[in-house]
Amino acid sequence: MRTKKQIAGIIAGLEKLYPLAECSLEYEKPYELLFATRLAAQCTDERVNKITPALFGRFPTLESIAEAELEEVEELIRSCGFYHSKARDLVSCAGELLTRFGGQVPDTMEALLSLPGVGRKTANLILGDVFGKPAIVVDTHCIRLANRMGLVEKLKDPVKIETELRRLIPPEKSSDFCHRLVLHGRAVCPARSPRCEACLISPDCAQKL
């Protein structure tokens, strides 16, 4: 486990490397981020960003998505994989946002988790990016880097990792920290052959050479 000083060094290093901690999914409305995140399950953000302009162009409102034919939604999102279940979740979620939440994306974990296709990862992303609340988004990059850096020890369960990182990372930095982990995982610390020799945070990392 890293010391408080080492954790602070990791946070500061990531902030220096990635000053703009932004979600790579493109969206204009809160519900678009909610739906884009659902589409991103087992799919790259790059692929989702190629799909959503046509999807939201064809269905520009929650009402139009809620009333859409599943087959048409499936065809528009087919290339992101698992399109049957994803289309069903998008149409059902749009309907529930309209009937239960007045067309607004809710701002609590409990309410978000009650929506079709929404898990803790998606809910945390919405809470952090849309509402500016403390959030820990545990995706594959977060799981890998949190273990590799020594922020957690041999944990694979996303809920346990989220709980531990909430204890370690200052709440006001938590959402941006997770975005920076994604950026760092892509640029410097991939699953295979991490570039430790070129990593600014290696002095504070458990994986250091």
- Is 176 among the residues known to form the active site? no
Which helix or strand (DSSP H or E) is residue 17 part of? helix 4-17
Asked if 40 contacts 25 with a C-beta cutoff of 8 angstroms, the reply is: yes
Q: Out of 121, 129, 176, 204, which one is annotated catalytic?
A: 121
CA-closest candidate to residue 23, choices 106, 167, 141: 141
Q: Which long-range contacts (CB under 8 A, 24 or more apart) does 116-121 make?
A: 116/88, 116/89, 116/92, 117/38, 117/85, 117/86, 117/89, 117/90, 117/92, 117/93, 118/34, 118/38, 118/93, 120/158, 120/159, 120/162, 121/37, 121/158
Catalytic residue among 89, 129, 139, 204: 139
Q: Where are the alpha helices (DSSP H) in 67-170?
A: 70-77, 83-101, 109-113, 120-129, 140-149, 158-168
Q: Which residues are catalytic?
A: 121, 139
